Structure 1
């Protein structure tokens, strides 16, 4: 009886696998399109401004062209990656995935959404540079990451070009410190405005910044381990 019942639950797996594969392909392709569009738009704005104004960039204007709805949408979609990890359709660790997504949402919705006018409205070059740092570090990272996933889901790991694989597992050494330092800078710059909004919100940002220190270390070392695994897999 046992041998007769074993094949029954296994039959739906190929169809389910196909549905999940198509969903992940569509999800990653949509994110690749969003981040590519956002990154190209940012670079185009920087180039156009440099032609007319030299190296004096109008970051509030860039914010107006990139934050709504592109950055809001691109970062909010990442919430689904927590669900993907939770239900097991991807192999990404739940804790590190949740931490990374939460930190981005904190900056986009918890800092930039309520306090962008206070950060950019007084010509604060440090805050403005931090926003630009987030845009470029996030944008380049996510273009590489989602492009990698599109190729991997579509044709397997062997279909990913070696140079793209190198980008996937090496650029974070530079881009992650730029991104995390820019995120922390924006949060610090928002503190005066947060205190004016409500003292508890000020403490909330302080608490998140305190978590950033061990959290960033965990994420950074996780990526180093992933790079090591990828290198060992190639050798085998």
Structure 2
């Protein structure tokens, strides 16, 4: 549901078995690499198109270069975060983690996979919503996974203060950007979802209905996380 997944908190280094730390380090490093690749590819394509086409963008071309298989694989890896929370590898609320991951999987596989031809290349609304998701998700995840790589490797005290600031403040802008883009893509899929099957139309409608309370829950949760982190820093 979110364009930010700020809920994952690693256990203190001393409480994690060495093999778990090494696994989490590898997991977060792989995700950081994939999201960085996706984000820089998107930005590079936008810059090249702006220069070559006099500030006109070919978003269908960006979709082709980013969605298959890069976004599909990168976003699908987040399913492991539900498992991490469930088995206690990280101190993350299972419900909010599952809610966030499920919303992203829904967008990537439940909306874009079956209906991309009816959304991308049709009009600017759906296209810029896809671009909004790419940028909101990408920037957020680069910061988040980079944070965890440094935290697992050397402890939270090794994370630069400016990086911590980015992690706990970017969501104020990126969350509304991501959530609105996700909702637009879902709404644009509705006419063709009904053609596919009436129950699929209702499925998307139900998901959109969950977005409103779910978005409020996750946004306020992230604000509480930020306040908690700020309080800890003041007490140190």
Q: CA deviation at 1:94?
A: 0.4
Q: SS in structure 1 opposite 2:17?
A: helix
Match of 2:152 in 1: 153
Structural RMSD (CA): 1.1
Structure 1 residues 95 and 15 mapped into 2: Cα distance closer, same or farther (>3 Å)? closer
Matches for 1:56-67 after TM superposition, within 5 Å: 56-67=56-67
Match of 1:125 in 2: 124
Match of 1:113 in 2: 113
* Contact 2:121-2:127 at 8 Å conserved across structures: no
User: Is 1:84 aligned to residue 87 of structure 2?
Assistant: no
Q: CA deviation at 1:56?
A: 1.7
CA distance in 2, matches of 1:113, 1:106: 10
Count of aligned residue pairs for this structure pair: 222
Matches for 1:167-178 after TM superposition, within 5 Å: 167-178=166-177
User: Is 1:102 aligned to residue 94 of structure 2?
Assistant: no
Structure 1 residues 102 and 15 mapped into 2: Cα distance closer, same or farther (>3 Å)? closer
User: Is 1:73 aligned to residue 73 of structure 2?
Assistant: yes
Q: CA deviation at 1:15?
A: 11
Structure 1 residues 153 and 141 mapped into 2: Cα distance closer, same or farther (>3 Å)? same
Stretches of 4+ moved more than 6 A in 1? none
Unaligned regions of 5+ residues in structure 1, if any?
A: 1-13
Match of 1:50 in 2: 50
* Contact 2:60-2:120 at 8 Å conserved across structures: yes
Matches for 1:164-203 after TM superposition, within 5 Å: 164-203=163-202
Q: SS in structure 2 opposite 1:56?
A: coil
With normalisation by structure 1, the TM-score equals 0.92
CA distance in 2, matches of 1:22, 1:139: 24
User: Bigger relative contact order, structure 1 or 2, given CA contacts below 8 A and separation 6+?
Assistant: 2
Structure 1 residues 220 and 134 mapped into 2: Cα distance closer, same or farther (>3 Å)? same
Structure number with bigger Rg:
1
CA distance in 2, matches of 1:179, 1:55: 23
Match of 2:134 in 1: 135
Match of 1:19 in 2: 19
Q: CA deviation at 1:93?
A: 0.6
148-157 or 49-58, larger mean C-alpha shift: 49-58
CA distance in 2, matches of 1:148, 1:121: 36
CA distance in 2, matches of 1:152, 1:54: 42
* Contact 2:136-2:175 at 8 Å conserved across structures: yes
Q: Which structure has greater helix proportion? A: 1
